[in-house]
Amino acid sequence: MPNKLQIIYTPNSILRQEAQDVAVDQIKSKKIQSLIVNMKETLKVTPDGVGLAAPQVNESLRIFIVSEEAEEIDRLELKKQAAKGVESEDVDSYEHREWKYYVFINPIVKKTAKRKLSGTEGCLSVPGKFGSLARQEKIIVEAYNEHGKKFTRGATRFFARVLQHELDHLEGILFIDKAEELFNSDKS
């Protein structure tokens, strides 16, 4: 049975540490598999989150997960751009559902685009704050999945932003370190 993990917040020092690689032969271990299952459950029940890195749940390991919802947000944005001036509920929203989660273990950036896109980011470990920052428009990452298989994944736009945000967590970097402008949310 999956458990919701406690998300830690700044200024907890683990968020500022470089996370440790997971030995490939340990990916299928009970400890790592349990951590992944619990991270998925945690992200599933946490509003407004599309990615979660192991350091955010007090595990200094090079693991993060991303919800397929990040891809859906990209599709919605492309639909909106294609339908400028057209009013449609289909263009303005998407159906929330049980999302799949992509697991990245020991990720390595293989390539990034030169072009950057500015956007707003928040973080589950920095509640009540948002920031505007530029990230590479495209990225290619190589990693292991939860089954210990190596894969390469490319991403663009919002999904690429989420990958870069989570990769930063593994290096002890928070979005507030890179933001050009910070502001508080209305909820705080």
Q: Between the CA atoms of 171, 174, 177 and 182, what dihedral angle is there, to the nearest 10 degrees? A: 170
Is 25 within the bounds of a domain? yes
Domain tally for the chain? 1
Q: Which of 59, 95, 166, 171 does the annotation list as catalytic?
A: 166
How many CB atoms lie under 10 A from the CB of residue 67?
20
Which domain range does residue 105 map to?
13-184
CATH number assigned to the domain comprising residue 92? 3.90.45.10
Is 158 within the bounds of a domain? yes
Sites in the chain below the pLDDT cut of 50: 91, 188
Alpha helices, H only, 22-156: 30-44, 69-82, 89-92
The H or E element that residue 11 is part of is none
Is 8 within the bounds of a domain? no
Q: What is the pLDDT of residue 38?
A: 98
Query: Rounded distance, CA 122 to CA 143, Å?
Result: 24
For 122-166, write each residue's pLDDT tens digit: 999 999 999 999 999 999 999 999 999 999 999 999 999 999 999
Is 166 considered catalytic here?
Answer: yes
Query: Rounded distance, CA 167 to CA 164, Å?
Result: 5
The answer to whether 62 touches 105, Cβ cutoff 8 Å, is yes
